Structure 1
Amino acid sequence: MNRRRRTTGGREPRPISDSIQAVTAGFGSRGRAMDLNERWTEAVGEAIAAHSQPERLDAGRLTVVVDDPAWATELRYHSSRILAALNAESGAATIAELRLRVQPGT
């Protein structure tokens, strides 16, 4: 039986914990979105919060689900104020863009 040796390209083997950390690093943005859920009503007001919710934060883009196209328009109109309110608490502009997704019945 001819067995081939797998080479690492001159690199030493790494601990599996390093690989797991690299894979789970992207999960932090999901956790940040969960933090946003807690502050969402304060940032947008009760009326908008009743018709919208943050879904995902990825690379500075916050995706928000709204239950009607009219509320998507409302959020677009207030987007700069909403982003400023959400970023104010963190002390850094971590959210640069608001993306909206309409999903009736949300």
Structure 2
Amino acid sequence: MKRRRHGTTGREPRPIKDSLRAVTSGFGSRGRAIDLGERWVQAVGEAIAAHAQPERLEAGRLIIVVDDPAWATELRYHSSRILAALNAETGAAAISELHLRVRPRG
């Protein structure tokens, strides 16, 4: 088991690509990294992707930042379809929940 560097808690944000690689390494993906950028647009469509971006993955929960409450509602409406599309690559439910945060563009 690797020792953590002094001063880190292991809970620091990390790129979603790294998180997905770690999650999928034990599933049917045989360790392939998922290109979430492309998968994200395929899963939600270009209109939603212009207003909502995945931020990070925490214990199966994908944190998504949207720029307006209306887009959060749109993603909630399509959440089961989005989850299915994102998890299709792994053959398992690596992402079990979408968590939406509204952060207006500044």
Structure 1: how far apart are the matches of 2:69 and 2:4? 40
Q: Say how many residue pairs are matched.
A: 89
* Bigger Rg, structure 1 or 2: 1
Structure 1: how far apart are the matches of 2:93 and 2:37? 18
User: Which stretches in structure 2 are left out of the alignment for 5+ residues?
Assistant: 21-33
Structure 2: how far apart are the matches of 1:28 and 1:56? 7
**Would the aligned equivalents of 2:62 and 2:99 in 1 still touch at CA under 8 Å?**
yes
Say yes or no: does 1:81 pair with 2:81. yes
- Note the 1:39-50 alignment, pairs <5 A: 39-50=39-50
- Note the 1:13-24 alignment, pairs <5 A: 18-20=2-4
Taking structure 2 as the reference length, the TM-score comes to 0.71
**Would the aligned equivalents of 1:65 and 1:100 in 2 still touch at CA under 8 Å?**
yes
1:27, distance to aligned residue in structure 2 (A)? 7.3
After superposition, what is the alpha-carbon deviation per residue over 1:9-33, rounded to whole angstroms, capped at 9, x for unaligned? xxxxxxxx72149x76x87773236
Taking structure 1 as the reference length, the TM-score comes to 0.71
Q: Percent identity?
A: 66
- Note the 1:1-106 alignment, pairs <5 A: 18-20=2-4, 30=16, 31-32=18-19, 35-105=35-105
1:37, distance to aligned residue in structure 2 (A)? 2.7
SS at match of 1:18: coil
Structure 2: how far apart are the matches of 1:69 and 1:32? 27
User: Which stretches in structure 1 are left out of the alignment for 5+ residues?
Assistant: 1-16
